[in-house]
Amino acid sequence: MLAPPQTAPSVVLRVAAQRPAGVASPNLVVEINGESAGTYPISNDWRDITVPLPANINRAVPLVIGLRATATFVPHDHDPTNPDGRDLGIRVDWAQLR
């Protein structure tokens, strides 16, 4: 959740997939306050994604931003010496209203 945006027209997300070689990168599905805000391709490199805020957003309440990777991977499945059995999607470094 982010503080209410007083005048910011967008939210900027710094994200990366950081997948092992041979594992396809996912897309990132973004929702703002429960409404679809777009789907963005993600690569292994860190990048900033600018997501426009809906024109009719209620600027008096905090934003709820939903992020979903279209595909996950399990590190152990690609390297049996890796004990990490979690399903991993994307990495998020930060989010800012701009």
pLDDT above 80 (res 3):
no
Does position 4 have pLDDT exceeding 80, yes or no?
A: no
Separation of alpha carbons 43 and 55, rounded Å: 29
Q: Tens digits of per-residue pLDDT, 55-68? A: 888 888 888 999 99
Q: What is the pTM of this model?
A: 0.88
Can you read off the two tokens belonging to residue 83?
Answer: 């004990």
